[in-house]
Structures are given as structure tokens and as C-alpha cells.
Amino acid sequence: MYLAILATFSYCILQGMIGFWALGSTQSYTIEIPAQIKVDASDSLEMERRESHEMEYIAAVLAKTPGIKSVEVLPREESLALLEPWLGSGTFLKDLPIPKLIDIKVVSNLKFNMAQLSATLERINPHIRLIDHRAWHQSVASSSTILETTLLFIIGFIVISILGTIAFTTQTSLLMHRSIIEILSLIGASDNYIAQQFQRYALSMGIRGSIIGFILLVLTVISWLWFFDWDKGASFFNIISPQISWLWLLIGIVPFIIILLMMFSAHKTTKSTLEKAF
Amino acid sequence: MQKGAGQKLIRFDNVGLRFPGGIDVFKNINFSLLQGTFHFLTGPSGAGKSCMLRLIHLSERQSQGTISLFDRDSTTIKRWEVPIFRTKMSVVFQDFRLIPHLSALDNVALPLQIRGVSTHTSRKQASELLDWVGLSDHLDLFPKALSGGQMQRVAIARAVITRPQLLLADEPTGNVDDQNALKIMYLFEELNKTGTTVIIATHNRSLAKEFPYSELYLHDKTLTVNLPKGAKSI
């Protein structure tokens, strides 16, 4: 039951991440303006003037482009922060010629003409790139589909294993307690009555398993957060939670469905075994 | 007169039972029993008394003839209907057949619980019955802590708690002394007075002769009916 709950939880997290990525990437574009390399100190002023002029021109173009909701020039500090995980936080970073990044949010992809904007930008500077995040999102989405399918397969496999175990233990229990089953039958117990006893047992096992499964899940999540970073983990949950508000219900629904299936399996197995063996 | 008294409860027409391998237990047995009557089924060990009770209790099928139970041909009773018929009758087994992990009280309460009576009510009635059979101090004991005679009385209490229309008892006095045997017989007589048809299988013919009831004597694969003094029919 723990594995089923954990797999469902992972599925929810994955859905949340996909939702978050989709929200951020399908309606967002980035303009990358390559950095100009200084040959000597005297170039500095001229380059800054040229860059500033270029930025003003791009801002004017973006203001006239239909379908754009917002434009945000990424400060150099933020661009540097993006490189820190790979290059470290040494002082040499400050002198690195890094491209300028402009983040564009569009109202909708239908109203926004990417090709036209790309051509306009190319006329300003042939090295400017307009990056469409949808392609990246598509590749992430196709990878996550594989993950989703795998998780669903794992959940299905766990459910089938649980049902198989229930059927097997019920059969074994019936044969082990054959004499008691015979007594029950002789004093007037119907197959349904006997099946209900096994069904009740499956219910109590399912409830116990679910409670233990939830406790273990909470412990697992706490240990993950403790192992990685508590604050980042908490903000991660805050970010993905809105994407999967209703999906959290699955963590409650899946064990409930499994318990129902366990009861059904116990009932059916009891009745068919009684019909064959008694 | 009890409700339903005088109606035919059991009818055997040319009934025979043959074990696999061709050995006849009995054959061409004919008799019918009315509701509310009391009978002894006697005969030497191995004569087929238990087998006859098993036929009546639908635990076995006859090899020939017709058995009519509660106005129904037993061969037409489907598997799912068997529990319905069994709720109308009770059996006291020779080997008691108590459930080992249940206390005396819960063993007796079980048939009522199977019939949907609440745990509280069934345990209350079971407690009263165990008091009736002289086991009020043994309610919470498990079968392994009871003597043969005590288990016998628990088995009897379990059999009568549902006030069955038909009570079958297989050697119910086999494990008790003469004094307790008589006490048990008086319990059955009490039950019979409430309208239950009672059939007691015993190899002890002298016990049967102490009571004014008909005797179905099984011997040499046939059945002889011995009526009590003054009686004209079974």
C-alpha cells in the first residue's frame, strides 16, 4: 500500500511540474543579445553606448509588436546567478562577457507572430536570437509522458500484486481453516456470510495498510526535504501545488479504490473457492 | 398444539445409500416423521445412523429413492438453498464441532449472528442458554478448557439457540455419565415441547427404552420402526 501511495504521490508531483513548466514555457520567449568583446579599455564607452542604443531600439520594436503582455530585461546579476552552479561564484565572473537576456510573455501564441519579430530583430543585429521555449517544453513533455506511463504502470502493477496476494491468502486461509468453514456451513452460514468475513478482514488490512502507507509517505517526504533543502523543497511544493489542486485527492482515492478492490477480490475468491472445494 | 404440528417434516421413500466402491450402507428405507415429534434412531455402531442424519442435514446425497424435507424433494434443493434449509434445523455432532478459537459463549451465539442477530442480543441469549445447560460459570472458557461433557452441553446449547424446527443429535450422550445423559435428554424433551422435532441417534437402546418415543432401529441395512406402548403410528 505504501508503494502504491508513493507512486501516486510521485505521479502528482510530476503532473505539478509539467503544469508549472507548461505555464512558464508555452507563453514565454527569450531574446538573447550576444555580449560584445572588449579589445581594450578604450572600447568600453563606445560599446556601452552602442549596447544602450541597441536596447532602446529593441524595446521600441517590442512595444510595437502585437500580442506581447510583458517584457522584462534580466539584470546582469540574475544572468550571472544562472551560471553560478556551473562556474562557481568567483570574482572573474564579473568580467565575463555574458549575453543580455530579455524575457517576453505573450498574451497568446495566436496573436503573437514569432517569425516576424525574429526577422525584425535580425535586421537590428544578425546575432540576436529569439528563443522559443515551446520546443524545449515539447521535449520535456514527451520525456515526462514516458515517466507518467511508467508510474501508472507501477501503480497498476502494485494493485494487481495486492489483489493477487489477497486472492492467494484468502484461498490458503480457506483451506487452512477448512474445518471451521465446514462448521460454519453446517450451522447454516451461507457462502455470502463466509465471504463477508473475509471481506471484512481485507477491509481491516486495507485500512491498516493505508494508515501505515500514509505515515511512511510523510516520513519519506520529510527525509527528502531534510536530505536536500527544506526551504527549497517547501517553495517547490508551493510552486507546483496550484497546478495539481484536485490531483492531491488521488493520494486519498487510490488507497480507497485499492481497499474496495481488495474486498471484492476477497469476496469473489471466497465464493469461488467454496463452490469448488466445499 | 404447536404451530405446524402434525405436518410431515421428513419423508423417506425407498431411500438407499451406497458408498463409492459399491458397499450399501442401507437400502429401501421408508418412513415419515411429523412435526413436533420425538424419535430415537438406534442401531449398532456402523449401521448408518450418522449417515442417515447426514442425508437429512443435506451433507450427503442418497444413492436411490426420494427424501422429502419440509415438503421439498431434497434432490431439487440447489447449493445456494442449502443454508436456508439448514437454518430450519440444527445438529449436535458426535464430535461436538465447536470452533476452537471462540469461547463457549461465542460458540453458542454464532448461529444467531449468522442469522443477522446483533452481537449484544446473541451473546445475551447464549448466556441464558448456557445457564440453562448448567455452564454459567464457563462462558468465557475456550473448548480446549472444557471437559467432554461440558463441550457436549455447549454443542447442545448452540444447536437449540435458534429454536430450530428440526433437531438432529448424533450420540449426544456418548461422552457423559448416566446422570448427565438423562439431564441432556430432559433438555431435548423441553425443546420438543416447544414444537421442535427431535431425532436422537444413539447406539444405547436402553436409553431409548426409558422414554415413551418411537424408535427407528437401523440394522442389516434396513429400518424397523418400534412404536411406544399404546401408539398406533409413528
What is d(CA A191, CA A181) in angstroms, rounded to the nearest whole number? 10
Closest residue in A to B83 (Cα–Cα): A188
Of B80, B84, B114, the CB nearest to A187: B114
Helix (H, G, I), strand (E, B) or coil at B113: helix
Q: Which positions in chain A touch B158 (Cβ < 8 Å)?
A: 187
The answer to whether B224 faces chain A, any CB pair under 8 Å, is: no
The answer to whether B115 faces chain A, any CB pair under 8 Å, is: yes
The pairing of strands B8-19 and B166-170 is unpaired
Q: How many CB atoms lie within 10 A of CB B147?
A: 11
What is d(CA B162, CA A230) in angstroms, rounded to the nearest whole number? 64
Copy the grid coordinates of residue A252.
486519498
pLDDT score of A33: 86
Cell 517547490 belongs to A236
Nearest to B212 by CA among B1, B40, B7, B34: B40
- Minimal C-alpha gap between A149 and chain B (Å): 44
Residue A125 in contact with residue A58, Cβ under 8 Å?
Answer: no
Amino acid identity, residue A115?
Answer: A
Copy the grid coordinates of residue A177.
481453516
Backbone phi and psi for residue B217, each to the nearest 5 degrees, phi listed first: -100, 115
The answer to whether A35 faces chain B, any CB pair under 8 Å, is: no
What is d(CA A144, CA B216) in angstroms, rounded to the nearest whole number? 81
Q: Where are the extended beta strands (E) located within chain A?
A: 28-33, 68-73, 100-106, 129-132
pLDDT score of B127: 96
Cell 455447549 belongs to B154
- The string of pLDDT tens digits covering residues A117-150 is 888 888 888 888 888 877 777 777 788 888 888 9
Of B79, B114, B158, the CB nearest to A189: B114
Q: Inter-chain contact B80–A191, Cβ cutoff 8 Å?
A: yes
Copy the grid coordinates of residue A144.
515526462
Q: How many CB atoms lie within 10 A of CB A237?
A: 13
Contact partners, residue B64, CB within 8 Å, separation at least 6: B14, B15, B16, B18, B27
The answer to whether A276 faces chain B, any CB pair under 8 Å, is: no
Copy the grid coordinates of residue B183.
439431564
Cell 484536485 belongs to A246
CB contact residues (below 8 A), chain A span 112-151, against chain B: none
Q: Inter-chain contact A187–B90, Cβ cutoff 8 Å?
A: yes
Helix (H, G, I), strand (E, B) or coil at A37: coil
DSSP-assigned beta bridge partners for residue A51: none
pLDDT score of B1: 43
Q: Inter-chain contact A190–B80, Cβ cutoff 8 Å?
A: yes
Beta-carbon pairs below 8 A across chains A and B: 40
- The string of pLDDT tens digits covering residues A40-97 is 666 667 777 777 788 888 888 888 888 888 888 888 777 777 777 677 766 666 677 7
Instruction: Categorize the per-residue pLDDT at A103 as very low, low, confident or very high, splitting at 50, 70 and 90.
Output: confident
Q: Which positions in chain B touch A187 (Cβ < 8 Å)?
A: 86, 90-91, 110-111, 114, 158
Identify the residue among A185, A186, A191 best suited for mutation to test binding to B, counting B beta carbons within 10 A and taking the highest: A186
- Minimal C-alpha gap between A188 and chain B (Å): 5
pLDDT score of B56: 95
Angle between helices A178-186 and A191-227 (to 10 degrees): 140
Residue B216 in contact with residue B41, Cβ under 8 Å?
Answer: yes
Copy the grid coordinates of residue A60.
521600441
What is d(CA B79, CA B132) in angstroms, rounded to the nearest whole number? 35
- The string of pLDDT tens digits covering residues A204-252 is 999 999 999 999 999 998 888 888 777 777 777 777 777 677 777 888 8
Mean pLDDT (whole number) for B123-145: 93
- The string of pLDDT tens digits covering residues B7-47 is 789 999 999 999 888 889 999 999 999 999 999 999 998 88
The answer to whether A187 faces chain B, any CB pair under 8 Å, is: yes
- The string of pLDDT tens digits covering residues B151-164 is 988 999 999 999 99
- The string of pLDDT tens digits covering residues A243-266 is 677 777 888 898 999 999 999 999
The secondary structure of B189-203 as a DSSP string is: HHHHHTT-EEEEEES
Copy the grid coordinates of residue A134.
515551446
Angle among Cα B101, B109, A169 to the nearest 5 degrees reads: 40
- Minimal C-alpha gap between A265 and chain B (Å): 20
A81 or A178, which is more confident?
A: A178
Mean pLDDT (whole number) for B86-110: 93
What is d(CA B79, CA A217) in angstroms, rounded to the nearest whole number? 47
Angle among Cα B194, B196, B201 to the nearest 5 degrees reads: 135
- Please measure the distance between the N-terminal and C-terminal CA atoms of chain B and give it in whole angstroms: 17
